[in-house]
Structure 1
């Protein structure tokens, strides 16, 4: 590839916008060529992180969902989807708005299926809604260990009750009786997920440390899954290619 003209470089920087490119220009001492190289690396790193976080999210929600299905059926005395129908308390109030939004998104997705889609015209299932839940919902189900969280607040009592009765069983390989380790791992991943979703700068984020949270979280579900995720993740390799 030939050398880029300075005028083209300035055009690209202008198209990206000052707020987005500013951190890269600052990190590159104002050198536009180096700033674009750093930005391109950041884009590649973001894609790598999204891949690892996406797999982590699937494993996290599936493991918690198994336990919530079991718990909900026991509370209601019959088999029912906690995502398609109102679940037992306190799960009902804890997830109400997020469950409705996931159902809305799943129904919208179903209506967009083409005639050639293998599930065209089929009703939305529990798994459809599960796939449309947001990462933040799982953090909000876990015991709240954020600074200043009042353990006597009804919402936080409910989160701890659900943890003790069901959710902790989703992490059988964790030594985490109060759910503190799990909460912070998911909270860190949720924060990183939001950053990469908006293509925010990762220059001052210890992405390797947060990625280790993903591996540890999955390892608390099953070490076999963690070994597989670690082996397939490209975050460390991409991170190591950061331009000087």
Structure 2
């Protein structure tokens, strides 16, 4: 009662919050165009996140496999996930501890639903790996590990990396971690060159396994291309025309 009638676009901007929509309005120039851009951003995020899903799973499994082999070759107790090497930073050790806790809690919740009185199962390495974030694996590729973990274990996760140079794989993974965080926090990605981001994913996957890279490209290229070409603002540079990398 007493409220002024407003357009659907302005209503949506109020619902999404003016602060969140401000960048979209500044880029698009009008409330209607801003809503179109916001919708496109959500759709593009879904497509890119699906590709990132494959990238992240392949990356984490490749690094985990080599760390596991190195840990066992050293004759060390347990798993590198439960008995982390001294070379890991305190931050990474804390993240491992938190991942183990989340894995235990998840298994306990599932076990409780069964009604069985026996203790819940102990988390496997796979359970723990599934609870680790892309940020954890990104920091496993930090240059601080060049002369220990990279040299002794992690580099073997990328058998097709030319010259085995850590910065050559670290840089694209950093960019993709930033992209994933933007999507996870529902932030704009139209300011990025999504085609270059997709090339980063293919590049890293190729370092791991060219056959996996080929499958990834054959199943994801068209969807990424389609969403880039569907950019709704004819008068503004689209995500494929953004110059350079973030």
TM-score of the two chains, using structure 2 as the length reference: 0.84
Q: Is the 8 A contact 1:208 1:236 kept in 2?
A: yes
Match of 1:239 among 206, 228, 235: 228
Note if contact 1:143-1:183 (Cα within 8 Å) is conserved in structure 2. yes
Quote how far apart the aligned CAs of 1:116 are.
5.7
1:102 Cα deviation from its structure 2 partner: 1.1
Deviation at 1:142, TM superposition (A): 1.3
Deviations 1:134-163 (A, max 9, x none): 11111211142xxxxxxxxxxx2x443111
Write the distance in 1 (CA, Å) between the matches of 2:91 and 2:7: 54
Residue 91 of structure 1 and its aligned partner are, at CA, apart by 3.6
Question: What residue in structure 1 maps to residue 31 of structure 2?
Answer: 32
- In the TM superposition, residue 125 of structure 1 has moved relative to its aligned partner by 1.1
Q: Do structure 1's residue 187 and structure 2's residue 174 form an aligned pair?
A: yes
CA spacing shift, 1:65–1:211, aligned 2, 3 Å = same
Shift of 1:6: 5.4
Alignment-derived partner of residue 189 in structure 2: 202
Residues 150-209 of structure 1: per-residue CA shift (max 9 Å, x gap): xxxxxx2x4431111111100011104331110001101101011110011112111211
Count residues in correspondence.
223
Q: Work out the CA distance in 1 between the residues paired with 2:51 and 2:160.
A: 20
Among 217, 237, 245, the alignment partner of 1:230 is 217
Contact 1:48/1:238 (8 A) holds in 2: yes
CA distance in 1, matches of 2:131, 2:163: 28
User: Residues 164-183 of structure 1: matches in 2 within 5 Å?
Assistant: 164-183=151-170
The answer to whether the Cα contact below 8 Å between 1:141 and 1:159 also exists between their aligned partners in 2 is no
How many Å separate the matches in 2 of 1:99 and 1:222?
A: 26
Matches within 5 A, 1:53-202: 53-75=52-74, 77=75, 80-83=78-81, 85-91=82-88, 93=90, 95-113=92-110, 115=113, 121-144=120-143, 156=144, 158-202=145-189
**Gapped regions of structure 1 (runs ≥ 5):** 145-155
Q: Aligned-pair RMSD on alpha carbons?
A: 2.1
Separation in structure 2 between the aligned mates of residue 237 and residue 121 of structure 1, nearest angstrom: 46
Query: For residues 98 and 227 of structure 1, what CA distance do their matches in structure 2 show?
Result: 32
TM-score, normalised relative to structure 1: 0.84
Name the SS of the counterpart of 2:7 in structure 1. helix
1:203 is paired with a residue whose SS is: coil
Partner of 1:19: 19
User: Match of 2:200, SS?
Assistant: helix
Note the C-alpha offset of 1:92.
7.1
Contact preservation (8 Å) 1:86, 1:92 = no
Q: Distance in 1 between matches of 2:73 and 2:194?
A: 40
Q: Deviations over 1:1-32 (max 9, x none)?
A: xxxx9522221110101221111111111x21
